[in-house]
Amino acid sequence: MTIFSSNAAPLLRITPPLLVSLALAVLDQFSKLLANARLPYGEPVAVLPSFDLLLFHNRGAAFSFLNDASGWQRWILSAISLSVSVFLLVWLTRLPARQRLLRWAVALILAGALGNLYDRLFYGYVVDFISLYWGDWRFAIFNIADAAISIGAALLLLEMFLSRERQQEATP
């Protein structure tokens, strides 16, 4: 499926990675609605050893950076996230089908960016609720969007490494 410009060149190709990206963004939002509706704020709910559900509203960036700022961070982080999302969307729809790993990496990062962008724009904070810990040490509280970004970034690094290896093998 494509969306056409006036000269019939596709502006946007709907691909399986793009559909998965959109589905993950929707799943992220659904999980955050459930977390907000069912979890007590700031009180861990044990799920497994070293895994809690812990509702937290992050007004900052990753690892709560800028969480305590006066509110300006909402709009700056939203603008950055929107810009990145547009860039990733265009990039994803123009990547050749043969670059499967790169397409999936970009799709996952896009899903996470869209999920967190929605939160920032409509709530003023990102809803986090997944909490991993070991003893007294607690990892950052995160959500499905954050997990998608992290997995996408790891796949992007893997693609860069594999691409460099392919280039080295191709040169005599």
Q: What is the mean pLDDT of residues 107-132?
A: 94
The answer to whether the CB of 39 falls within 8 A of the CB of 45 is yes
* Amino acid occupying residue 172: P
Whether the predicted pLDDT of 31 surpasses 90: yes
The span from the CA of 24 to the CA of 86, in Å, is 17
Question: In the predicted model, what is the mean pLDDT of residues 147-169?
Answer: 89
Question: How would residue 11 be classed by pLDDT, with cut points 50, 70 and 90?
Answer: low
The whole model's pTM is what?
A: 0.82
**Residue 92 contacts residue 114 (beta carbons within 8 Å):** no
Residue 65: band (very low, low, confident or very high) from pLDDT cuts 50, 70, 90: low
Quote the pLDDT of residue 164: 81
pLDDT of residue 61: 63
pLDDT at 7 over 60: no
Which among 38, 20, 39, 2 has a CA at the least distance from the CA of 152?
20
Q: Does residue 72 carry a pLDDT above 80?
A: no
More confident residue, 135 or 59: 135
The catalytic residue positions are: 128, 146
User: What's the pLDDT band for 8 if we cut at 50, 70, 90?
Assistant: very low
